[in-house]
A and B are shown apart, each in its own frame.
Chain A
Amino acid sequence: QSALSQPASVSGSPGQSITISCTGSNSDIGIFNLVSWYQQYPDKAPKLIIFEVDKRPSGVSNRFSGSKSGTTASLTISGLQAEDEAVYHCCSYADTTTLFGGGTKLTVL
């Protein structure tokens, strides 16, 4: 059982927008603006796409955006493309430890 809760799967059609939620608690997401998101293709290492809730590393498409409300963080992908099909992991700092969600498989229909 993962410390953060994500839906197991989401899907969308090319061009649409989707949002993946990540629910934590008042010990992690609720008190730290230190949520990050990672994209992982099969048999590849994860890649950082969002950090500190809503910041994008250099080179990451602006189609990816992050937000937070209370104890829930969200990743939104706009203008879905076939190449976005991957697993997305949320992560939160929690004062001397770091917690992950179980991962969400995004299928582009």
Chain B
Amino acid sequence: QVHLGQSGAEVREPGASLKVSCKASGYSFTDSYIHWVRQTPGQGLEWMGWLNPKNGGTNVAQGFQGRVYMTRDTSSSTAYVEFTRLTSDDTATYYCVADRTVTTLGNWGQGTLVTVSS
């Protein structure tokens, strides 16, 4: 079945960069979009955007444009989200989600906790 394995928890200082990975298995990696969703401590969910693994195309939510980049490596069935210029507001758990559509979030990874602190 579909499984998304995310990289482990990270701690960064403000201003730093970070790349979180999401390794897909149990399905054809290029057949489903990879979405990224953020959940800040004790708060709700926020959609960040999606990546089309087939062609590398992305649709990044307005609030993340210019600071978040979504990429993939088809040879290892892995998707990445890269953050630049981290701030304390980026402290959150980040989930990758695989789905055949851009409209539903069907299969979730376990989440990666990112802490930004000096």
Q: Do A and B bind each other?
A: yes
* Chain A residues within 8 Å of B, Cβ to Cβ: 2, 32, 34, 36, 38, 45-48, 51-52, 57, 89, 91, 93, 96-103
Decide if A96 touches B108 in the complex (CB within 8 Å).
Answer: no
Pick the interface stretch among B12-20, B40-48, B81-89: B40-48
Within the complex, what minimum Cβ distance (angstroms) separates B36 from chain A? 11
Decide if A48 touches B44 in the complex (CB within 8 Å).
Answer: no
For the complex, is B53 an interface residue (Cβ under 8 Å from A)? no
Count chain A CB atoms within 10 A of each CB in B44, B62, B105, B108 and give the residue with the most. B44
Decide if B47 touches A101 in the complex (CB within 8 Å).
Answer: no
Q: Select one of B46, B62, B95, B102 contacting A46, CB under 8 A.
A: B95
Decide if B104 touches A36 in the complex (CB within 8 Å).
Answer: yes
Interface size on B, residues (CB 8 A): 21
CB-CB under 8 A from B62, the residues of chain A are 97
Decide if B105 touches A36 in the complex (CB within 8 Å).
Answer: yes
Chain B 82-118, CB-CB to A under 8 Å as 1, else 0, gives: 0000000000000100000011111111110000000
Q: A45-B95, A45-B111, A46-B95 are in contact. Are A100 and B106 (CB under 8 A)?
A: no
